[in-house]
Structure 1
Amino acid sequence: MPQTGAIDARIAVDERAARVRFRRALTLMAFTLVVPGSAQLVAGNRAIGRLAVRVWLASLGTLLVVGAWSWLDNGFALGLAFSPTVMLVVRLYLIAGAIGWAALFVDAWRIGQPLSLRLPHRRAVVGVNGILCFSVAGTLLFGAHLAAAQREWLTMFADGDLGSSHDGRYNILLIGGDSGADRWGLRTDSMTVASVDEKTGQTVMIGLPRNMQNFPFRKGSVMDEQFPKGFDCDGCYLNGVSTWAGDHTDLFGDSENPGIDATVMAIEGITGLDINYWVMVNMRGFERLVNAFGGVTLNVRQRIPVGGLGKDVTGYIEPGERKLDGHDALWYARAREGSDDYSRMARQKCVFSALVSQVSPAQALTNFQEIAQASSAMIKTDIPGGALSDFVELALRARTQKISSISLVPPRIDTARPDIDLIHQMVDDALDKASGRPPQQEKKAPKREQAEKPAEAATEQQSDEQPATVTGGSLGSRNDGYVANETDDVAAAC
């Protein structure tokens, strides 16, 4: 009997010792999770432990400093986020961190002497170590993947830094191109100049109809030399400039984008503005981008047909306030059945305004990878990479301000024979008003009587007498003008 008691006592001691070893093994792994290298300082190779802890503390310190600085200075944060070099450093650091931290977990498991543990404890330690090791390393590797995606996205932009503004504004030509590889850059579906105040981000959208004829090119440009009297060839429209240039690439030297260069020359000749940069948007890529942002909410005033013209219509977007996915947002902007080009231009301004005001930084961070991939698929541009942080900062400021617009369309402008002097006056007055400057009185009065009655004023007068007209899904009509095409507040007109 005494012998049995001694055996039981030894068993109890062994049980307690096994539990102690098990807790010690788990504690070493917990130490490694909280402070990498601490397990080695306590029970392993102290040289490795000291190095790991120093790296960990330096990383935490750097993160805190960068975070605080970014909180106080958004420009600093954007500069880091849009630097390919920083993204490369972050990627390599995260990869190295993932490998090093995983190795510390394995070493902590070794220090815990797994062979001395009982089989159930040994299995538990292996499982816990594996979960911690793969979770931490996987998280860091995913971060490295995002940094690589960001860096790859940044490579689509040209080299260089932000150039000088023109009269305090950056004029960016937004070109919508038909989808499909055979059409990229060949036919421009929509053209809008976004004129952005360099300090406030206040934006004026200047819409140009694709069917404009008989317009001049920028003085002294290649296209001006070819068409000194304006683009007056038979069947020549504004959206055909890029096609003409594509058939005469020898005139543009080593230009990689003769069609876009020629279009810029046309836009500058029509508006009198100096274009800083251009952005070519593939409409199908736009669909993917809207999905990446989680959709866009729009006020659908009338049923918008989906699918094409006539028998190609496959469905409708019903009236009301709707959150549209990329597919429906694209058709809302591009639908032609039951619409004219000018009502469609108004709807496109509504989509642009909604995206600017609704997309939040939180959404951008949440769907960063998809947004980067969609952007790479949809955009071609000459904006330099060094200008990205500045433009993103301006875009954040623009979210808090009203977006105004003018469009060079009927009833104020005859697209077949446009009054270029009147167009220049319209553009200058719109920019002066947006910048808080008084109109320049020395300019000549409008030639056409219809120009004295802007579309917005006409529609407001109509609304006092009867319900507002809605045509092709846009408030207004071709004869009276569409409100979103000429307004101080696009969002209110939508």
Structure 2
Amino acid sequence: MKRKLLSWISAVIGFAILGAGIYTYQVYASVSETLSKVSQPLKRDALSKQSEDMKQGAPISILLMGADPREGERGRSDSLMLVTLNRTKQSMKIVSIPRDTYTEIVGRGVKDKINHAYAFGGVDATVATVEKFLNVPVQYYIEVNMEGFQDIVNAVGGVDVNNDMDFKLAGIHFAKGPIHLNGEEALVYSRMRKLDPRGDFGRQMRQRQVIQSVIKNGKNTEILSSYEAILGAIQKNVKTNLTQDEMFKIQQNYKETRNNIEEIEVKGEGKMMGDTWYYFVPDEVRQELSKKLREQLELPVQ
């Protein structure tokens, strides 16, 4: 059940980093300490000049990953969301990649579920595999542990959503209409799928509601009073190759992109192959998606 939630938890915390207005002088030292502890560069980062692109306001891409680490093993990236930010167009596009997507695992020479890349080679292998699948560069990543979700929602004061159907799950009643949710309630609210005739589509809608509310609450000046809780949750549950300066640049130069967000669904079909369930994405769908993302990143369309 937890794995199904990871498809959006990374976005919740990732957007808290991108959107929260906590970067003020009075908390600068605390932010600096936290960001130094969550820093984990990719192996290729030493050769990269992507910081210069950000300084010039060029479009950027960030892979948000929900990690499910297990004792004694690396675990899997059971959530993958590629976020592209275009400062000129003031637009943000979010692509949720199904965890069971059948694709080539870079560095292994085999095809498998895309989330298995993490088990094979960690963040580096996952980034490379997503790049090949979508045919776009991935400059940055934010990896989030499952346990960080409730802390972030609570730290921003909970979330407000407009629930379009009355239901009860895990002993919690969710009335139809505007409701306020704490971290635990938001987790359950976004978990529900079987009671919704729309299935995954209904669940994804609730997930987007929670994400949007976190973004909205993160922009409020009142959030300064909770910055220690936010930083604590980030420090415990987040890893990223974004530097402190790059995060500040995103807050300063790309903040308007969150006012024009497009959620993109990767269309495909789930079915069994042998004894394993996979999600197959037709080549024409993948190519059209790649074209859309390359245009967003202002890259030549191939």
CA displacement, residues 34-55 of structure 1 (integer Å, 9 cap, x when unaligned):
xxxxxxxxxxxxxxxxxxxxxx
Aligned match of 2:187? 330
The code of the aligned residue for 2:107 comes to V
SS, match of residue 275 in structure 1: coil
Unaligned runs of 5+ residues in structure 1 are: 1-77, 88-142, 246-257, 307-312, 444-494
* Higher RCO (Cα < 8 Å, 6 or more apart): 2
Choose which of 107, 111, 115 in structure 2 pairs with 1:222: 107
CA 410–349 in structure 1, closer or farther in 2 if over 3 Å, else same: farther
What is the rounded CA distance, in whole Å, between the counterparts of 2:123 and 2:84 in structure 1? 18
CA displacement, residues 353-402 of structure 1 (integer Å, 9 cap, x when unaligned):
33223422403322111111111122111112220111112453234x22
Q: Does residue 238 of the first structure (1) align with residue 114 of the second (2)? A: yes
Query: Which protein is richer in helix relative to its size?
Result: 1
The code of the aligned residue for 1:162 comes to S
Aligned match of 2:34? 153
- Runs of 4+, deviation exceeding 6 Å: none
Choose which of 267, 283, 288 in structure 2 pairs with 1:409: 267
Aligned match of 1:297? 160
Maintained 8 Å contact 1:184/1:282: no
Aligned match of 2:136? 273
State the Cα distance separating 1:269 from its structure 2 match.
1.7
Choose which of 199, 204, 211 in structure 2 pairs with 1:352: 211
Maintained 8 Å contact 1:158/1:384: no
Aligned match of 1:284? 147
The code of the aligned residue for 1:216 comes to E
The code of the aligned residue for 2:33 comes to E
Q: Does residue 366 of the first structure (1) align with residue 192 of the second (2)? A: no
Aligned match of 2:250? 391
State the Cα distance separating 1:237 from its structure 2 match.
2.1
After superposition, where does 1:56-455 map in structure 2 within 5 Å?
A: 81=23, 148-155=29-36, 156-158=38-40, 162-164=51-53, 168-178=58-68, 182=71, 186-199=75-88, 201-213=90-102, 215-217=103-105, 221-223=106-108, 226-227=109-110, 231=111, 236-243=112-119, 245=120, 258-303=121-166, 306=169, 313-338=170-195, 340-341=199-200, 343-399=202-258, 401-410=259-268, 416-429=279-292, 432=295
CA 371–298 in structure 1, closer or farther in 2 if over 3 Å, else same: same
CA displacement, residues 4-42 of structure 1 (integer Å, 9 cap, x when unaligned):
xxxxxxxxxxxxxxxxxxxxxxxxxxxxxxxxxxxxxxx
Maintained 8 Å contact 2:155/2:229: yes
State the Cα distance separating 1:170 from its structure 2 match.
0.9
CA 182–342 in structure 1, closer or farther in 2 if over 3 Å, else same: farther
The code of the aligned residue for 2:32 comes to R
SS, match of residue 176 in structure 1: strand
CA 341–190 in structure 1, closer or farther in 2 if over 3 Å, else same: farther
Unaligned runs of 5+ residues in structure 2 are: 1-20, 273-277
Aligned match of 1:20? none
What is the rounded CA distance, in whole Å, between the counterparts of 1:169 and 1:347 in structure 2? 28
What is the rounded CA distance, in whole Å, between the counterparts of 1:292 and 1:360 in structure 2? 13
CA 272–334 in structure 1, closer or farther in 2 if over 3 Å, else same: farther
SS, match of residue 78 in structure 2: strand
CA displacement, residues 235-263 of structure 1 (integer Å, 9 cap, x when unaligned):
x42223322x1xxxxxxxxxxxx322222
Query: Which protein is richer in strand relative to its size?
Result: 2
Maintained 8 Å contact 1:304/1:335: no
Aligned match of 1:134? none
